[in-house]
Amino acid sequence: MKLQFWSFDVIFAMVIFGFAITILAFVWYSINNQFSLSYGYSAGSMQLEAQALANRLLTPGNPASWSSLVSINNPLSWSNISIGLLGSNGQLSMQKLSTLESMANANYQATKQAMGVSYDYYIVVNYQGIKFGIGANPYTNRALSIYVVNKPIIINNVPSTMQVMVWTNTSFGVE
């Protein structure tokens, strides 16, 4: 009789242990899956946004003469334009680049909206060994995630490069 009693205890303990392991595995799988989906989606959207911004900047914009139509101190005048940096000759326009830099210095948040980005951005143009940046520098703002797109450009018939960075200082983890 004692042997049967002991075997029921072992069977009961094994059922409880198995149930606890099943719950732990389910919770672990659920959290891991949420983290993977959250990280993958955010990183993927950041990558797509950086690519789209870089491609948009390598157009003339809409209208093509947008830099002469905007008022630097009036972000409302930025709402009906599409920012592109190419001039009529297919090269990067220094006037458009200068206008975008002035817009970013005047109201960075409004330029994010005008360029259609939800993350922070930083554009670095390397022209004849001189690098100048437009936007918020991720390295001085403690960025946690940065996605960089490098594009070859031509300025005044000189081959140059442009880096478009989209960054955030928030984590992609489960919140």
Q: How far apart are CA 160 and CA 151, in angstroms?
A: 9
Chunked in runs of 10, what are the mean pLDDT values of the chain (175 residues)? Answer: 63 85 82 56 76 90 83 80 85 88 88 86 90 89 87 90 88 49
Q: How far apart are CA 6 and CA 157, in angstroms?
A: 89
pLDDT of residue 151: 92
- Which residues, at least 6 apart from 160, have a Cβ–Cβ distance to it below 8 Å? 92, 125, 126, 127, 128, 152, 153, 154
* pTM metric for this prediction: 0.70
Q: What pLDDT does residue 163 have?
A: 93
pLDDT of residue 4: 57
In this prediction, residue 61 carries a pLDDT of 83
pLDDT of residue 122: 93
What pLDDT is recorded for position 124?
93
Q: For the chain, what is the radius of gyration of the CA atoms?
A: 27
Give the per-residue pLDDT at 3: 53
Specify the pLDDT at position 164.
92
The span from the CA of 173 to the CA of 41, in Å, is: 11
CA separation for the pair 161, 2 (Å, rounded): 83
Q: Domain residues of the chain, as ranges?
A: 32-168
Residues near 89 by beta carbon (within 8 Å), at least 6 away in sequence: none
